[in-house]
Structure 1
Amino acid sequence: MNILLIGEFSRLHNSLKEGLVCHGHEVTIIGTGDGFKKYPIDICIKNRFLENKKLHFLAKAIHRITNISLVKVEYAYRYFKQLHKLKHYDVVQLINENSFKANPKVEIWLLKKIIKHNKKVFLLSCGADYSSIKYAFDKKLKYSILTPFNKDESLQKKSKHMLRFLKPKYKKLHDFLFENVNGVIASDLDYHLPLINHPKYLGLIPNPINTDKINFIENKVSNKVNIFHGISIANYAKKGNIYFEEALATLKDKYPDKVHIETTKNVPYKTYITLYNNCNILLDQTYSYDQGFNALEAMAKGKVVFTGAEQEWLDYYNLKEDTIVINAIPNTQKLIEKLEWLILNPDKINEISKNARAFVESHHNYKKIAQLYLDTWQKN
């Protein structure tokens, strides 16, 4: 089959492409590369208003005055210029409900072109979208990516980029997609739960991880337990980084001879995945129920990862708590207790790391996951 994957963040579409190519299919990815992360893209959509500091400042000033986003206008224009290349595919998959990063009205216009000129179109529920944000907004989860913004009024401005999906124009975009795509697929449990029983929902297909490219690193503690904390400034609040930083500050004072801590901020993907090679423990996020790409790739390397692993996830995979990953919740004292347990029982680090690698190989292998996508696309 000839397959088009629209949009990329977290490397999901790249890993899926690698799996699909192994099965003999031709795959093209179009997208932005997701800012500073710079994921590989076949047809790259650049945005000068984001890449140039002066133009970015100008765009923000115009947006404040007129409410017109030159960033979105440029994205729409650049995708429009590539439409002639986005035809005659057997399958098109959208990374999420705002794959073109354009204004919803323009996004619908672009989507109509994609739907008209291709055989099948599928939508991923991956990242913020109407379903997941509405579910979180209605407090159907004990905590979510909206929790930090609800707790702290000073952060509420920063939640606008997520809450926009509840606005009428984005709800219209959501409705258009659900009416016109062949089906919707969730990439993990955080997106699966809001979609259960929806007629267009085709089920959860776990994130694909290229375990052939990721070498397992024996996770043995030498003199100190090495803890790595990689921060994306834009996602600082919704990833719960404040709780990790508070916990690390306490442990650094309490165990100066037992702990080494490394923190990075806003590093490109290729740099990020090498920086944590020597760590024993990786701190990912606190508000999720399941693991995202960063966590899964680190698990494949054999790191002990603090991330989402709620009871719903344990039940889904029939697992016991803190045997594959460490369930990180937005509670500093709980994080301290779990980190302390590992620092004082370093043999557990090696045990969990081996379990983590085995889990990723079993449930997230990119070739197996690619076949699940192929089966789903062909049936619908």
Structure 2
Amino acid sequence: MKILLVGEYSRLHNSLKEGLVLLGHKVTIIGCGDKFKQFPVDYSIYAKICNDNKIANFLFKSIRKVIGLDFEKIEKAIRFYLLLPKLNGYHHVQLINSDALETYPVLSRFLYKKLFKKIKNRSLLICGDETPIVDYWFKKELKYSVLTPYFEDNSLKKQFKFPLKYRIENYRKTFEWLKDNCQKLITSDLDYEIPMQKMGLPTTFIPNPINVDTIAFQPIENADKIVIFLGINRLSSIKKGISYFEKALEIIREQYADKIEIIRTENMPYNEYIVAYNKAHIILDQVFAYDQGYNALEAMAKGKVVFTGAEIEFLNQYKLQEDEVCINSLPNENEITAKLSFLIEHPEKIKEISKNARNFIEKEHDYKIIAAKYLVCWEA
């Protein structure tokens, strides 16, 4: 089968491609690499002129400030349009998001229509912010969501422009069009499966694929200090609840100065990020989550103890006990501090969770098994 994957935000599509290729399929990824993260793609729609040419960058930013026209979005649309003649003979196309092209919704719909004339079998992946997901968060039926900081302080609206845009009519129209023109809606974890089900939308739940062949398990050895890693993406730090980790680290640094080492990074490219946390024992990932995102899963595959989403819904889904394969981090710095303190004082527990984490990834997220599940879903 010849498969086209459109968009890449987390390395999900790259790992899926690797699994599909091993199963004998030909796979192409189109995307922009997600800015500073620089994920690999086969065909790039990265807005090179707008971003890399200093004069053009200054000019286009000035125009955007005056009249609101975003030339970066337009350049991405043009680059995708120019690639359309190369996109022939594909049996299936999957979009990573309704805004997979990262352009204006009206241009997205125009380009999707062109693409869908070529490829009849299609799926839309729900693995991040999306119209029905954000709609459900606004119902406030969950005890918390990534929009909790915004609900508590509406002055943060600018920092939440990415999730909030999906409630704008033009973005909503794009999702509705895709919902009607894709045969499958696929969710990647419970943070999206739960809202989609609550909103009455039919989905197929397929866990994130992790390449367990290229990510080596790193057994945790006895060390003089426990190394704690916090990698910050400033574009999403508020919605991930990073401030709770920062407050907890301030307390931990004072209490255990001679027992810990803290590594803190910001906005690192993906390849640098995964190297930066290699020496860490504990990874602080995110707070406002019920299941693990992609970064957390890759860290767990290495045997890191990850503070992330692991709510009761996740435990029930995979028949696990609390804090067995990762640490459920709640929006409370004192609870995070208490869990960090326990691990620092009981390093044998770190080793136990580390082994459990790797075993869990191999059992539930092996990229070859997950790729096979995608094929079954697409062909059903």
Q: TM-score, normalised by structure 2?
A: 0.97
Give the match for residue 161 of structure 2.
160
* Residue 72 of structure 1: how far off its partner (Å): 1.1
* CA-atom RMSD in angstroms: 1.4
2:215 equivalent in structure 1: 214
Residue of structure 1 equivalent to 2:14: 14
Which amino acid is the alignment partner of residue 238 of structure 1? K
Alignment partners' CA distance in 1, 2:59 and 2:238: 26
Question: 1:60: how far off?
Answer: 3.3
Cα shift readout 1:309-338 (whole Å, capped 9, x = no counterpart): 111111111111101100011111110011
Q: State the match for 1:30 in structure 2.
A: 30
Does residue 1:63 correspond to 2:43, yes or no?
Answer: no
| Residue aligned with 2:307, SS | strand
TM alignment of 1:1-380, pairs within 5 A: 1-47=1-47, 48-196=49-197, 201-379=202-380
Structure-2 change in CA distance of 1:54 and 1:253 (3 Å): farther
Overall identity of the aligned pairs, in %: 48
The offset of 1:257, in angstroms, is 0.8
Give the conservation status (yes or no) of the 8 Å contact 2:196–2:203: no
How far apart, in 2, do the equivalents of 1:18 and 1:81 lie?
A: 26
Question: How much does 1:150 deviate?
Answer: 2.1
Summarize deviations over 1:245-281 as a string: whole Å, max 9, x none.
Answer: 1110111011111111010111111111111111110
**Which residues of structure 2 form unaligned runs of 5+?**
none
Residues 1:264 and 1:78: Cα distance change in structure 2 (over 3 Å): same
Work out whether residues 7 and 32 of structure 2, in 8 Å CA contact, stay in contact via their aligned partners in 1.
yes
Aligned partners of 1:148, 1:199: CA distance in 2, in Å?
Answer: 26
Partner Cα distance (1:239, 1:18) in 2: 28
Instruction: After TM superposition, give the deviation of residue 354 of structure 1 in Å.
Output: 0.3
Q: Secondary structure at the match of 2:317?
A: helix
Displacement of 1:35 in angstroms is 0.8
**Equivalent-residue separation in structure 1 for 2:114 and 2:330 (angstroms):** 43
8 Å contact kept, 2:136–2:198? no
Cα deviation digits, residues 170-216 of structure 1 (max 9, x gap) = 11111101111111000111110111177763311000000000111
Question: In the TM superposition, what is the alpha-carbon distance from 1:156 to its structure 2 partner?
Answer: 1.6
Deviation of the 1:70 alpha carbon: 1.2
Within 1, Cα distance between the matches of 2:344 and 2:58?
Answer: 46
Amino acid at match of 1:356: A
Equivalent residues, number: 379
Out of 341-350 and 126-135, give the one that drifted further.
126-135
**Aligned mates of 1:335, 1:66 — CA distance in 2:** 45
- Which whole-Å CA distance do the structure 1 matches of 2:54 and 2:340 have between them? 40
**Counterpart AA for 1:43:** Y
Partner AA of 2:214 in structure 1: K
Name the SS for the 1:300 alignment partner.
helix
Give the Å deviation of 1:135.
Answer: 1.0
1:88–1:119 Cα contact (<8 Å) kept: no
TM-aligned CA deviation for residue 124 of structure 1: 0.2
CA distance in 1, matches of 2:280, 2:332: 23
Q: Output the CA distance in 2 between the equivalents of 1:250 and 1:208.
A: 36
> Residues 144 and 215 (structure 1 numbering): CA distance in 2 closer, same or farther, change over 3 Å?
same
Identify which range, 17-26 or 118-127, moves more after superposition.
Answer: 118-127
Alpha-carbon spacing, 1:45–1:98, altered in 2? closer, same or farther (3 Å): same
Counterpart code for 2:26: E
- Which residue identity lines up with residue 186 of structure 2 in the other structure? I
For the structure 1 residues 284 and 51, does the alpha-carbon distance in structure 2 shift closer, same or farther, using more than 3 Å as the test?
farther
The 2-side partners of 1:45 and 1:167 are apart by 24
What's the offset of the Cα at 1:53? 5.0
Shift of 1:117: 0.7
Distance across 2 between alignment mates of 1:309 and 1:159: 23
Paired AA for residue 24 in structure 1: G
Structure-2 change in CA distance of 1:279 and 1:83 (3 Å): same
TM-score by structure 1 length? 0.97
Return the alpha-carbon distance in structure 1 between the equivalents of residues 135 and 235 of structure 2: 21
SS state at 2:204 partner: strand
Instruction: Identify which range, 45-54 or 314-323, moves more after superposition.
Output: 45-54
Preserved contact between residue 305 and residue 326 of structure 2 (Cα < 8 Å): yes
Deviation at 1:149, TM superposition (A): 2.0
More displaced, 295-304 or 45-54?
45-54
SS of aligned partner of 2:287? coil
Unaligned runs of 5+ in 1: none
Shift of 1:57: 4.1
Name the amino acid aligned to 1:107: S
Q: Is the 8 A contact 2:184 2:204 kept in 1?
A: no
